[in-house]
Structure 1
Amino acid sequence: MSENPPATGPLAAPVEVAVITLFSAARLTHALNQFTLLAGGTGRLVVAVWLDEAEAPVVDGVTVIRVPPGREGLRLAAGRNAGAAEALRRGARLLVFLDADCLPGPELLERYAEARYEHPESVLCGPVTYLPEGAAPRTPDGLRAATAPHAARPSLPPGETRAATSDEQRLFWSLSFACSPQAWVRSQGFDETYEGYGAEDTDFASRLQQRGIELRWVGGAHAYHQYHPTSSPPIQHLDDILRNGALYRDRWGSWPMEGWLKAFEEADVIRLRHGSWEKTRP
């Protein structure tokens, strides 16, 4: 895991909950919306990891850490590790990882804290709603009314949790998850060999399974992904997907992001040759 880079922001006594988020210039507005909803809580630390080359912004009430890009792009794995290191240094008893795109639901921190208390050795995942274009809920009632969890992952009633099955392990989603310090240390964090888009979260899920760390679905810990334009498949990330996917394959014996790879194949931009995906043209 990363050594802890210098941080900017408020220094305070040890905290109960640390929210760790990654942000960049491209997601600054989304992140500021998130910080607004997180502001003012007692016993709470917000650690924001700035991933761009440019100087990190100063955000009131937020501890900002800078993890510059690597040779292959943004260092998402290293950023999460650095944010967790700062949270542990500050004595946090619960680590909540929330992507900059995501707004915390009104019960997200409470539900994760309850699940951490009951299952301190588990990594916890709540449901995520993808907000449509133009949707901008900012109040508890507005967020609750917008709730429509992504159907690909379990969404349990509030207050309920269950262990993921072995087949569900690959459904781990780094958009929103939480764990105790001991579970994080046991996991050894994210593999910082991954740079740029994709596969570092699937690799983390495989690490959890290899180390016998339970993944547990947490009902009611809702997060809300703010809309932003994207392409499908994400052709702008093709090189990253092929590079990181091959790294994952070499380590774990299978390809991640199979849906994207199939879509790229159907678009005739990649082909499978001797067990490896390659571009059909430079």
Structure 2
Amino acid sequence: MRVAVITLVAGRHRHLALQQRGLAASDLAPDHYVVITLDDPGAADVLQNQLPAPDVLPLSWEGRQLPLAAARNAGARRALDNNADLLVFLDVDCVPGSTLLSRYAQTARHGALLCGTVAYLPPPPPEGYRLGALPDLASPHPGRPIPADDEVLTGGEHNLFWSLSFAVTASTWRLIGGFCERYAGYGGEDTDFARVAKSRDVDLWWVGGAPAHHQHHPVSRPPVEHLDDILRNGAVYRERWGSWPMTGWLHEFARLGLVHHDPVTDDWSRCAPWARARHGDK
């Protein structure tokens, strides 16, 4: 089985370097390491003269929204053009555990969407993370199933899918059809991807022994800097599937007086400035 690893980068070079080191320490070397750089020419310098040797695919984008769906599709096309049998997607923040690739390869089947566990790491020390210490720094996220290392849990809930770390065979990718490129910026494209997978009878499998370690970076809760992305992508999802994704964030935005929900039309919209000022203390 020819295994391709696909990641996107727009900054976070320190994270990218540790991911590459993690892949180099894997018990199964990737046959192809596709790195899509989104207006980030400096990323190639981070990877230069290191293993696994990267196949850097530069992409330019316009506007303020990162084209995450389109970039993942471009990475998959590059991997498939190089005869990949298994596509493994890792966010740039994610460092693969030593057995992640081998477990994905062992369990891969047509018609299965494979997800390993992800552990969210604490902030690194000043000298950075030590690769060998990562498994002891954090447990897998409790919001997802945590199978034993030799276990695969089939029949998973598709609404729990996350794109931080997942794998599909080439034939399964073609069956799903990739990510919908109407999504741009933060949120929605991964939920849509899983919904399409479910509609095409692609099962969700939680794969034990395929851990990824998510490197720390500051986040906002709720992610107010992505409010417009969430509203726009949420509306795309509603048009396609009849319901809103990311409702937890939407309700948090409403609590802050940033958005309004119309219960009659089920529309979410940005509040006018006067409404935000009026409701901002609630």
Task: Determine which of 109, 118, 123 is the counterpart of 2:113.
Answer: 123
Asked if 1:22 is matched to 2:8, the reply is yes
Shift of 1:69: 2.0
Give, as a single letter, the amino acid of the residue that structure 1 aligns with 2:16.
Answer: A
Aligned pairs for 1:229-268 (under 5 A) are 229-268=218-257
Aligned pairs for 1:77-88 (under 5 A) are 77-88=69-80
Asked if 1:111 is matched to 2:96, the reply is no
Contact 1:23 1:49 in 2 (8 A): yes
In 2: Cα distance, 1:54 partner to 1:243 partner? 29
Shift of 1:28: 1.9
Give, as a single letter, the amino acid of the residue that structure 2 aligns with 1:45.
Answer: H
Contact 1:96 1:179 in 2 (8 A): yes
Shift of 1:164: 3.1
Give, as a single letter, the amino acid of the residue that structure 1 aligns with 2:37.
Answer: W
Asked if 1:133 is matched to 2:120, the reply is no
Contact 1:21 1:47 in 2 (8 A): yes
Report the 3-state secondary structure (helix = DSSP H, G, I; strand = E; otherwise coil) of the residue aligned with 2:111: coil
Once structures 1 and 2 are overlaid, which stretch shifts more, 15-24 or 195-204?
15-24
Give ranges in structure 1 of 5+ residues lacking alignment.
1-14
**Which residue number in structure 2 is paired with residue 279 of structure 1?**
270
Distance 1:42 1:169, change over 3 A: closer
For 1:102-154, what per-residue CA distance to the aligned partner results, in whole angstroms no more than 9, with x for missing partners?
Answer: 010111111111111xx3321100110000112654334x2322341111111
Task: Determine which of 30, 49, 58 is the counterpart of 2:36.
Answer: 49
Identity level (%): 46
Distance 1:132 1:48, change over 3 A: same
**Which residue number in structure 2 is paired with residue 190 of structure 1?**
179
Give ranges in structure 2 of 5+ residues lacking alignment.
274-282
Shift of 1:42: 4.2
In 2: Cα distance, 1:197 partner to 1:54 partner? 22
Shift of 1:159: 1.6
**Which residue number in structure 1 is paired with residue 85 of structure 2?**
93
In 2: Cα distance, 1:244 partner to 1:43 partner? 33
In 2: Cα distance, 1:16 partner to 1:146 partner? 31
Task: Determine which of 32, 40, 47 is the counterpart of 2:17.
Answer: 32
Taking structure 1 as the reference length, the TM-score comes to: 0.87
Q: How many residues get paired?
A: 262
Contact 1:52 1:69 in 2 (8 A): yes
Contact 1:70 1:195 in 2 (8 A): no
Q: Which has the larger radius of gyration?
A: 2
Report the 3-state secondary structure (helix = DSSP H, G, I; strand = E; otherwise coil) of the residue aligned with 1:195: coil
Contact 1:248 1:255 in 2 (8 A): yes
**Which residue number in structure 1 is paired with residue 149 of structure 2?**
158
Taking structure 2 as the reference length, the TM-score comes to: 0.87
